[in-house]
Amino acid sequence: MNEFRFTDGATLSGTRKLDGGYLVAEAFAARTGIQLYRGAEVGLADKDVVRVYRPEDEVRAPASLATFSHAPITMGHPEQVNATNWQDLAKGEVSTEAIWEDNKIKLPLIIKDAAAIAAIESGTRELSGGYTCQIEFKDGVSPEGEAYDAIQRDIRVNHLAIVPKGRAGPECRIGDDADNWGASPLTSADHKEADMPETLRKIMVDGLQVETTDAGAQAIDKLNATIADKNKALVDANTSHKAALDAKDKELAAKDVELDKLKGAQLSDADLDKRVAARAKLLGDAAKVDAKVKTEGLTDAAVRKAVFVAKLGDDAVKDRSDVYIEARFDALVDAADAAKPDQFAGAMKDGAGTSNTSDLNQTYAERNKSLGDAWMQTPSKEG
């Protein structure tokens, strides 16, 4: 960005005299929007007109407004006013800070120099602000839909000049001595006097290059911006919709996982039979070891632990894992089986004597004899 000197115009109004002869006045200066400059005035000699945009946030920036406070008032535009020449050039000052009112800057002034007061009372009632700023050469479109070629930034006021008549008139910005101080904007009249031919701009519309006027380009740029905004809104809506669907899919997946867990937890008939048989065996084994142990309502691990405690005491299970207790339980069951006599084997051993064998043999022989003599019997006659 480059620094330039500029002048801004306003009309002096609301004047009144104080007891000491000083003159109090007000000036309103419009500070926003797009203003036209000759290209040579802003360092672009190859361009006839440069459209400079002054954003409201730059105009109302606290650092910019602060420079109005106590800014010196001069007769005409001198060189830069500073501490070395202030006594010779200053005829008054902006008495308080600038105020933003009705989209304009309101400047309360006090003029103390008698000659300057006399000039104002004689009709020299226009002010021309002298300030420096940075110019950023950048194409764009203002919020109002107006195209511009550059943006004015970092506005810093140096002085306010009392001038007989600005070239742009009381309604516009005044550049009383633009050659010495800096650039001032063109009015409609200035634009006509320059007799500049209307130039065409080349812009891209849906991939095609089109030539159109500045006004047409502004309209197309505004339309393209509207289309871009709507496209963005559509993309955002699609993105939000997809996010909602993804969230719903994630929720359904979580429910499916939960259902799979529930299905996995259900036992088949065969599994249930195995569980019942295993439980019955466990309770039977527990009774073998100690029939007095209460097992109702206990888990498998708790049953083993209860039997283990009953046989070996509480200290035996202290800091012992379920695996250890299960192994010791199995050992107790094996010991119980070994200590219990085999009743079937005993019964077979005790009950198989010679007398019983003899009786069986006799009965068998009698049966065979009866079958062998059966043919000798006389059949009975029926009456």
Q: Is the pLDDT of residue 344 over 80?
A: no
Average pLDDT, the chain: 77
**How is residue 89 written in tokens?**
């050039």
Domain positions in the chain are 2-197, 212-264, 270-339
**Arithmetic mean of pLDDT, 52-67:** 89
Task: State which of 81-90, 126-135, 193-202 shows the largest mean pLDDT.
Answer: 81-90
Measured N-to-C along each axis, helices 300-312 and 322-339 cross at an angle, to the nearest 10 degrees, of 60
Q: Taking the C-alpha atoms of 210, 213, 217 and 218 in order, what is their torsion angle to the nearest 10 degrees?
A: -170
Q: Is the pLDDT of residue 112 over 90?
A: yes
The residue type of 192 is: K
pLDDT value at residue 360? 61
Rounded distance, CA 342 to CA 365, Å?
Answer: 35
Contact between 42 and 135 (Cβ < 8 Å): yes
Average pLDDT of span 181-200: 54
What one-character-per-residue DSSP string does 316-367 give?
A: GGTT--HHHHHHHHHHHHHHHHHHS--HHHHHHHHH--HHHHHHHHHHHHHH
Q: What pLDDT was estimated at residue 11?
A: 60
Q: Is the pLDDT of residue 312 over 70?
A: yes
The predicted pLDDT at position 216 comes to 72
Model confidence band, residue 220 (pLDDT cutoffs 50, 70, 90): confident
| pLDDT the model gives residue 9 | 59
Least confident of 70-79, 117-126, 350-359: 350-359
- In this predicted structure, the answer to whether residue 126 has a pLDDT above a threshold of 90 is no
Q: Are 303 and 320 in contact (CB under 8 A)?
A: no
Confidence band (pLDDT; 50, 70, 90) for 350? low
Return the pLDDT at 32: 80
Judged against a pLDDT cut of 60, whether residue 345 lies above it is answered with no
DSSP labels for 80-131?
Answer: ---TTTHHHH-SEEE-S--EEETTEEEEEEEE--HHHHHHHHTT--EEEEEE
**Predicted local distance difference test score (pLDDT) of residue 249:** 86
- On the question of pLDDT at 176 being above 60, the answer is no
Beta strands in the chain (DSSP E): 2-17, 23-30, 33-38, 49-54, 72-75, 92-94, 99-101, 104-111, 126-141, 147-163, 201-205, 208-212
pLDDT at residue 271 in the model: 78
Residue 359 CB-half CA count within 13 A: 5
* Over residues 153-157, mean pLDDT: 90
Confidence of residue 256 (pLDDT cuts 50, 70, 90): confident
> Rounded distance, CA 289 to CA 308, Å?
9
Does residue 144 register a pLDDT over 50? yes
Q: pTM for this structure?
A: 0.45
Instruction: At 204, list the tokens.
Output: 């891209």
Q: What mean pLDDT is predicted for residues 358-378? A: 61
Which of 210-214, 220-224, 332-336 has the weakest average pLDDT? 210-214
pLDDT tops 60 at residue 7: no
Q: Per-residue pLDDT for 116 more than 80? A: yes
Most confident of 150-154, 337-341, 360-364: 150-154
The tokens for 224 are 């393209």
pLDDT given at position 171: 34
Q: What is the structure's pLDDT at 151?
A: 94
Please tell me which residue, 102 or 85, carries the higher pLDDT value. 85
| Band (89; pLDDT cuts 50, 70, 90) | very high
pLDDT surpasses 60 at 282: yes
Q: Give the pLDDT mean for 285-314.
A: 88
245 has a pLDDT exceeding 60: yes
Q: Does residue 90 surpass a pLDDT of 90?
A: yes
Average pLDDT over residues 64-87: 89
* Phi, psi (degrees; rounded to nearest 5) at 129: -80, 135
Higher-confidence residue of 265 and 325: namely: 325
Identify the pLDDT of residue 114.
Answer: 93
pLDDT higher than threshold 70 for residue 372 = no
